[in-house]
Each structure stands twice: as C-alpha cells, then as structure tokens.
Amino acid sequence: MMADKGKKLASGFALPKAPPRTPVKDQAAAKFVRSERKPGRASRLRREIAGERLAIYLPPDVAEELRVRCARERRSISDAVTEAVSKWLKP
C-alpha cells in the first residue's frame, strides 16, 4: 500500500503552460547584448596591507566635510583618518 503512494508522489504533477512570448524588436534587444569585458584597473584607494576595522563617530558637520574633501582629493576616508591619527600619535 505504501508503495502505491510512493509511485503517485514520484509521478509529479503537470506544469502550467508557459505564457506566450512578447515580440521584441532587434534594435531594443541589441541594448542587452554583452560586449567583451574590459580588464579593470587596480583601485588607487586600496591599500596593499589590510588594516583593522574600527568604528568612529564624528559630528555630522565634520563627517560631511571629511567626505567632501576626500572625494575632491580622490582619497579614501580610511587613508585620511589614518594619516591624521598617525600624526596625532607621534610624540
């Protein structure tokens, strides 16, 4: 009796009919054709040495000023903070 149930379960069920495809113009479809991938260049912002992650909290105006200046100088925030803290720690 259990074998009969197993056969019924294993037979599965009928899949619904797929919806009709919408015709797409060749010009529109050409937008989605992938081109050859260009090799990426190494990021200038990444360091060769992995650092330790720390969370710091800055006043909102200081944080905004830091983000804007780093963006203008094309520099990472981590790099700017590392330089400032390193200078502060030196005797």
CATH number of the domain encompassing residue 89: 1.10.1220
Cα separation, 37 vs 1, in Å, equals 59
pLDDT value for 16: 85
3-state secondary structure of 8: helix
pLDDT value for 62: 95
pLDDT value for 9: 66
- Give the pLDDT means over successive 10-residue stretches in the chain (91 positions): 63 81 84 70 62 90 95 92 94 79
Cα separation, 66 vs 71, in Å, equals 8
Domain holding 67, by residue range, is 54-91
Residue 64 tokens read as 């905004």
Q: Is residue 81 part of a domain?
A: yes
Question: Residue 37 — φ and ψ, nearest 5°?
Answer: -80, 130
Q: Is residue 60 part of a domain?
A: yes
Q: Is residue 1 part of a domain?
A: no
pLDDT value for 30: 80
Cα separation, 58 vs 45, in Å, equals 21
pLDDT value for 44: 56
Total domains, the chain? 1
Q: Mark out the alpha helices in the chain (DSSP H runs).
A: 2-10, 26-30, 60-72, 77-89
Residue 22 tokens read as 């919408």
